[in-house]
Amino acid sequence: MNNVLDITNYGIALFSPTILQNFLKKEKIRSKKLLSKFEKDKDVYLKTLKEGIWMPIVKIDAGSYVIKLNGVDEPFDDTWIQKFSYEEFQIEIKDTLCIGDIHLLEPFQTNQEMRYQDMEGNILYKGHTYETASGKYQLRVEGYVRKEANGHASTYQNPEYGFLFTLNQVEVFKMAQDPRNDERYNFNIGYLTRSKQAKIKWENEIQAQKIGKEYYPLIELDDGSICHLYVEFDSSHKYCRVSVLYKYVYDELLKSGSTFTISEETRTKGKTVLCPVGTLTIL
């Protein structure tokens, strides 16, 4: 039986309640709204990572996820596809590891109820706990998606996405990595499933450099309809990830090798027209 975690706040936190409570006492932190505290005080946040107090996984879709701890749960089988594997993280555990909705820390309570009931009477879980030998661990995080996933919201009846966590005990921690580093990590399995790697050849390279990291161009489909895209660039502004907004046709439209003219809307003689700005190719 899989542990299913229902996420409503776009993030997951891994922590050992005793370790976290001891850290708060040592640092004389009285506030129980720890997400707010860590957001406001970067030094404290970085210290939590250095000491392995917790591990945040942020900017993921709301919905339900299968949660597996390597060595305790069965690994994902061949009906799932691995989307990423990151192993640069660390965490310290005292007897118990909690894996739950990130808002378990807003506010943080030592004995929180992990189950709740939705409006239809279904029992859902905002956290799961695992009895774990005390010690320091290197933590690997892997993300998986079902092969038949359709890109819609992952529900508790049929979760399409999952995380596998692996703990390897160590004597001392290495240099801490920040999982909120967007340039290095992307934990959003849903987005990685809906989006594709692409490159853009711009009509005007100088104008292109004025575009920010995120971009919302348009493409005109064969039937004359307009499709809105979401583009997230790398630092070169030539390579990116692209996904389709508003329509779940990403698997049909964003096929490898497909090429599109991307445009922006502009006003000419009182009319809105599409102005081509470049060519996008799906890799």
Q: Which of 141, 130, 161 is nearest to 62 (CA)?
A: 161
Tell me, what's the pLDDT at 247?
A: 54
Least-confidence region, from 146-150, 180-184, 250-254: 250-254
Average per-residue pLDDT in the chain?
Answer: 90
Q: What separation in angstroms does the CA of 156 have from each of 103, 122, 124, 257, 273? A: 19, 9, 8, 35, 44
Mean pLDDT confidence for 93-107:
96
pTM for this predicted structure: 0.88
- The confidence band for 121, taking pLDDT boundaries of 50, 70 and 90, is confident
Give the pLDDT score at 117: 83
Position 239 scores a pLDDT of 87
Q: Quick one: pLDDT at residue 188?
A: 94
Average pLDDT value for residue range 23-43 = 95
Indicate whether 151 pLDDT > 80: no
Backbone phi, psi, residue 262, to 5°: -95, 145
pLDDT digits (tens, 9 = 90+) for 191-218: 898 889 999 999 888 777 788 888 999 9
CB of 65 closer than 8 Å to CB of 162: yes
**For the purposes of burial, counting CB atoms within 10 Å of the CB of 37, is it exposed (0-12), middle (13-18) or buried (19 or more)?**
buried
Tell whether the model's pLDDT for residue 152 goes beyond 60: no
Beta-sheet pairing, 214-215 with 196-202: unpaired
Say which residues have a Cβ less than 8 Å from residue 96's Cβ, sequence separation at least 6: 16, 17, 18, 129, 130, 131, 132
pLDDT confidence tier of residue 54, bands split at 50, 70 and 90: very high
The predicted pLDDT at position 50 comes to: 96
